[in-house]
Each structure stands twice: as structure tokens, then as C-alpha cells.
């Protein structure tokens, strides 16, 4: 209710602040019998963690996750899975400069208004550092979905500033710090990002996340639609300002005769809908696109006020991600996995009896 739990049958509740003692989460509702160890979670955490290229923040966080419960003799038992990452880079910095100032585009002002108090160290709870736990929990969901249903979830860069990915070779995506599957674009991305970083500025990005292999029938019909919950999951990622399913905003200028995905005995003829009809999966690939705003912490000076409403200078020092979008691919994949797993369980709960589980097409 207070916003730190995601999901209904497969729930993830997280805690922890950027510069606190550590981050943790409790996964409740994981079915028993899934082989699981910390080694299953670490790869996605490593894909998200800072300091892996010169285009991300240089904060040193090994982000080593421990499983504290819910796994016995290498398998999940159906009881809650407690995960913990202790913070390493927790030096007692001098925060006097930011203590009373609201950094523009950050959540400083809104947290102060909401709670009347805030942990100002590194953004506290509003830091993107919190997403480490979403990634860890998402890795559990990804594994279950893959083993139980053959669902595969993957994401890539779609655009960075003015640079558009025209075609994605999935074999390339994990070989560069941009999650870019367009070989020709990579050198351009490098020089563009170097330039942005040199200017002390930042840039937005667009990502695409695709899930394939899921059966038709997942998602609820009116309010908890699969696409609605995906939209919530994605808009809930730090910096995301837009979400599209299938053709997204392109539908504004489409005709009905163009948009509708016709059916034949061999399957759908197109996938403008992005794998969801009436809030329920159609069995086609689920395609999601998201827009991420440029990093808020930049070295370009800006105007702001302090907690007393008086003019204050904002000076950001240290190196930050010049594009937060770059580290968001594993986060968005994780969130999509959490939504899908929740709906897989919900579909089983209500509709396990449904006569024909075999898709017509």
C-alpha cells in the first residue's frame, strides 16, 4: 500500500537506501521446486551494476546478493525468499552541500513535501540504486518463466538522443555497453556519449523490451490488464516518462484496416498490437518501448531553492551516468518478468480448469 511491494500473487517487497546499510527484498509466492542459487541472480545484477564501462557512474558496488531464506537443498520451498545486498561504498561523505537543497529533476522536493523528512544521502530511497533488488527478484521470475513456460525476455537500445537503432542483431546486444544491436551505430554512440560526458551534460534514451514464448490467456480483463500492469511496471522505473505497447503512439495515424492484426489458420499476419488484445496475451511476442529522461545529476550549474524556499546553488560533483537509460535494460527486463510471472500464477489460480489450454493457433 505504501508503494514498496510489487505484484499480487508473486510479490516483491524491497527496502533500502542508496547510502544506508544495504538493500533487501522479500519475494513471496514463488512456487516450490525451482532450482535456485545466488549464481542465478548475479548475472543480471552485474549487467545493471555501475562502473562496468566509462559511460556509467564509477561508484564501486559489487552488488553481491545473498539468499537468506526460502531455498533449501538448492530448491525453492514455497516460503518467502529473503535477499540481501550490503552496501560497500558507504563512506561518510560530507553532505552539507545537498542536505537542505532540492536538486532539480530529482525527488528531493517531493519527498520533503510528502514525508516532511528525507534521507538526503545520495537520494536515499529515491536513488536508482534501489532497482538492484528489482533486478535480483526479476531474475527469479525470468528463470521460472523460462523453465516452466519457455518464455524469453530481452531488451535493447532503441534510440539514444538523436541516434536511432534501425535494426537489432540480438547477438550483438550484450557485447557493448549500450545494449545496442546495430553494429554500425556503436561507434557513433561512443563518440556522442563521450561528447555528452565532456560537456557535463546527460541525454535521454529509448529502450525496447520483448518477451516471446508466452501462451495466450495471461492478463486480467478490465483493470489489471497485462498491458496496464506492464505500463505501471515500466513507468515505475526511475526516469521513465513514456510507455508504448506494440505500435504505441504510431497508432494515432493508423487506419483500422491497417492496424488490426488479421488471423489465419497459420497464425496472426502482423503484430501491431504487440501481443496483447483486450488486456490479455495473444501468444504473439510482447513488445514494449519506454522513454527515459536524461540523468538529473549533471555538472551544468542550475537554479534551485533550499528547504526554506530561498535561492540555492546546485553543484553536482563526481561522475554520474551520462545516460541512465543505458543501465535500465536489465531493470526493464526484470519488471516485465515480474508482471508476467504474477499473471502466470493468476491465470492458474482462476482458470486452471479451462477446457482447452491448447491455443487454437
CB nearer to a copy of itself: give 68 or 171: 68
**Per-position DSSP letters for 25-49, written without gaps between them:** EEEE-PPTT-B--HHHHHHHHHHH-
CB nearer to a copy of itself: give 149 or 177: 149
CB nearer to a copy of itself: give 152 or 259: 259
| Contact set for a copy of itself, span 117-176 (CB under 8 A) | 117-119, 124-126, 130, 148, 159-162
Number of other CB atoms surrounding residue 360 within 10 Å: 9
Q: Specify whether the CB–CB gap between 289 and 248 falls below 8 A.
A: yes
CA distances from 330 to 32, 49, 133, 305, 333 (A): 25, 10, 11, 35, 5
Question: Which among 222, 315, 230 has a CA at the least distance from the CA of 275?
Answer: 230
Give the shortest CB-140-to-a copy of itself separation in angstroms: 14
59 assigned to a ligand binding site: no
| Contact set for a copy of itself, span 311-350 (CB under 8 A) | 311, 345-350
Q: Rounded to the nearest 5°, which phi and psi values hold at 344?
A: -60, -45
| Contact set for a copy of itself, span 186-215 (CB under 8 A) | 196, 201-206, 215
Among 62, 213, 217, 285, binds a copy of itself (CB under 8 A): 217
| Contact set for a copy of itself, span 12-41 (CB under 8 A) | 13-17, 20-26, 28-29, 31-33
176 assigned to a ligand binding site: no
| Contact set for a copy of itself, span 281-310 (CB under 8 A) | 281-283, 291-298, 300, 302-305, 307-310
Give the shortest CB-132-to-a copy of itself separation in angstroms: 12
131 assigned to a ligand binding site: no
The whole-angstrom separation of Cα 130 and Cα 3 is 13
38-46, 64-72, 88-96, 183-191 -> range binding a copy of itself (CB under 8 A)? 64-72
Q: Rounded to the nearest 5°, which phi and psi values hold at 227?
A: -70, -35
Residues 6+ apart with CB under 8 A from 290: 206, 207, 209, 234, 237, 240, 242, 243, 244, 328, 332
Among 46, 59, 64, 77, binds a copy of itself (CB under 8 A): 77
Amino acid at each position: 500500500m505504501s508503494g514498496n511491494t510489487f505484484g499480487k500473487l508473486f510479490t516483491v517487497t524491497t527496502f533500502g537506501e542508496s547510502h544506508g546499510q544495504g538493500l533487501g527484498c522479500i519475494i513471496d509466492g514463488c512456487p516450490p521446486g525451482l532450482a535456485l542459487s545466488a549464481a542465478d541472480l548475479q548475472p543480471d545484477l552485474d549487467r545493471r551494476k555501475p562502473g562496468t564501462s566509462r559511460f556509467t557512474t564509477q561508484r564501486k558496488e559489487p552488488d553481491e546478493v545473498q539468499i537468506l531464506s526460502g531455498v533449501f537443498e538448492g530448491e525453492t520451498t514455497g516460503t518467502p525468499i529473503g535477499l540481501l545486498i550490503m552496501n560497500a561504498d558507504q563512506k561518510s561523505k560530507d553532505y552539507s552541500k545537498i542536505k537542505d537543497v532540492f536538486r532539480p529533476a530529482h525527488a528531493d522536493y517531493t519527498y520533503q513535501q510528502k514525508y516532511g523528512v528525507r534521507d538526503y544521502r545520495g537520494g536515499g530511497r529515491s536513488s536508482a540504486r534501489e532497482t538492484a533488488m528489482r533486478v535480483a527478484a526479476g531474475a527469479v521470475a525470468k528463470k521460472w518463466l523460462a523453465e516452466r513456460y519457455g518464455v524469453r525476455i530481452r531488451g535493447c537500445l532503441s534510440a539514444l538522443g538523436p541516434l536511432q537503432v534501425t535494426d537489432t542483431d540480438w547477438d550483438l546486444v550484450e557485447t557493448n555497453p549500450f545494449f545496442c544491436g546495430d553494429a554500425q551505430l556503436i561507434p557513433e554512440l561512443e563518440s556522442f556519449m563521450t561528447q555528452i560526458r565532456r560537456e557535463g551534460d546527460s541525454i535521454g534514451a529509448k529502450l525496447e523490451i520483448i518477451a516471446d514464448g508466452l501462451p495466450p490467456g495471461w492478463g486480467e480483463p478490465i483493470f489489471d490488464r497485462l498491458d496496464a500492469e506492464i505500463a505501471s511496471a515500466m513507468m515505475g522505473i526511475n526516469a521513465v516518462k513514456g510507455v508504448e505497447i506494440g505500435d504505441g503512439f504510431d497508432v494515432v495515424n493508423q487506419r483500422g484496416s491497417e492496424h488490426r492484426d488479421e488471423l489465419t489458420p497459420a497464425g496472426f499476419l502482423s503484430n501491431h498490437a504487440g501481443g496483447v488484445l483486450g488486456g490479455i496475451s495473444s501468444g504473439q511476442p510482447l513488445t514494449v518501448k519506454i522513454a527515459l529522461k536524461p540523468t538529473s545529476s549533471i555538472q551544468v550549474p542550475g537554479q534551485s531553492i533550499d528547504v526554506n524556499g530561498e535561492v540555492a546553488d546546485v553543484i553536482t560533483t563526481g561522475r554520474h551516468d551520462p545516460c541512465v537509460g543505458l543501465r535500465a535494460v536489465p531493470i526493464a527486463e526484470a519488471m516485465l518478468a515480474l508482471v508476467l510471472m504474477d499473471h502466470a500464477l493468476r491465470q492458474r489460480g482462476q482458470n486452471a480448469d479451462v477446457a482447452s489450454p491448447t491455443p487454437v493457433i
